[in-house]
Amino acid sequence: MTVVAEAADGREAIRKAGESLPDVAVVDISMPGLDGLEVVERIRAAHPKTAILVLTMHEEEQYVVRAISAGAAGYVTKRAAADQLIRGIRKVHEGGRYLSDAAAEALARRMGKGPADRTSLDALSTREIQVLRSLALGKSNREIAESYAISTKTVDTYRFRLLKKLGLRNNAELTRFAIQNRIIEP
């Protein structure tokens, strides 16, 4: 195994994936700039032969589901033993799928839930969660628009939808919701 590139943020990860064309890209969901799910989608779209393994602190089921839906072939939590990471890299490199023990457990919990047990977070799209995370981190509408190549009016629309879907009134309540649901760390 050889590390061919490292990136400090989402945009750099996408650029370096294009330059080095790795067999496997290991991506963190919580990275500066573009969030990791957006990075997974963009790398997957531009370089379909690159297998993507998510390595993250997030053990919550919604992250596992969203990462796999975005195109990740594997998901390993940072609390997992190093051998799980290595097994995961090898497995996705071979064309397979891999979930660390914690990720598999989270996914099993998700699959075992009935419709009444779903959270309000489940009703949000990936883009809505990205905008929610950005707003909760204190980014301006302009910064969010630039990050995701959308207009500020579109950011306003996402914000309005978030408030309505979650039954919240303002950005402070959005931030509290994001912290309570571990979308951001306090």
Q: pLDDT tens digits for 35-73?
A: 888 899 999 999 999 999 999 988 888 889 889 989 999
Q: Could you tell me what percent of the chain has a pLDDT over 70?
A: 96
Do 65 and 139 reside in the same domain of the chain? no
> What number is the average pLDDT over the span 80-84?
90
Is the model's pLDDT at 182 over the cut of 80? Answer: no
Q: What is residue 23's predicted lDDT score, i.e. its pLDDT?
A: 97
What are φ and ψ of residue 30, in 5° steps?
Answer: -95, 90
Residue ending a domain, among 115, 131, 158, is: 115
Q: Kindly state whether residue 53 falls inside one of the protein's structural domains.
A: yes
The domain tally of the chain equals: 2
Q: Which residues contact 160 (CB under 8 A, 6 or more apart)?
A: none
Tell me the sheet residues that pair with 55.
Answer: 76
Do 21 and 99 reside in the same domain of the chain? yes
Q: Kindly state whether residue 2 falls inside one of the protein's structural domains.
A: no
> What number is the average pLDDT over the span 13-26?
96
Mean pLDDT is lowest, of 101-105, 117-121, 137-141, 163-167, for 117-121
Alpha-carbon distance values, 172 to 4, 16, 110, 137, 143 (Å): 41, 36, 28, 11, 18
Q: What is residue 114's predicted lDDT score, i.e. its pLDDT?
A: 61
Q: Kindly state whether residue 186 falls inside one of the protein's structural domains.
A: no
Do 92 and 171 reside in the same domain of the chain? no
Q: What is residue 46's predicted lDDT score, i.e. its pLDDT?
A: 96
Q: What distance in Å separates the CA atoms of residue 131 and residue 80, rounded to the nearest whole number?
A: 29
Q: What distance in Å separates the CA atoms of residue 97 and residue 91, rounded to the nearest whole number?
A: 6
Is the model's pLDDT at 22 over the cut of 60? Answer: yes
Model confidence over 114-141: pLDDT tens digits? 655 456 777 888 889 889 989 999 999 9
Q: What distance in Å separates the CA atoms of residue 70 and residue 89, rounded to the nearest whole number?
A: 18
Q: What is residue 109's predicted lDDT score, i.e. its pLDDT?
A: 80
Give the helix ranges, DSSP H, for the chain. Answer: 10-20, 36-46, 61-70, 82-93, 101-112, 126-136, 141-148, 152-166, 171-180
Do 111 and 73 reside in the same domain of the chain? yes
Q: Kindly state whether residue 175 falls inside one of the protein's structural domains.
A: yes
Q: Kindly state whether residue 1 falls inside one of the protein's structural domains.
A: no
> What pTM, to 2 d.p., does this model score?
0.74
Quote the domain boundaries for residue 146. 119-180
Residue ending a domain, among 66, 97, 115, is: 115
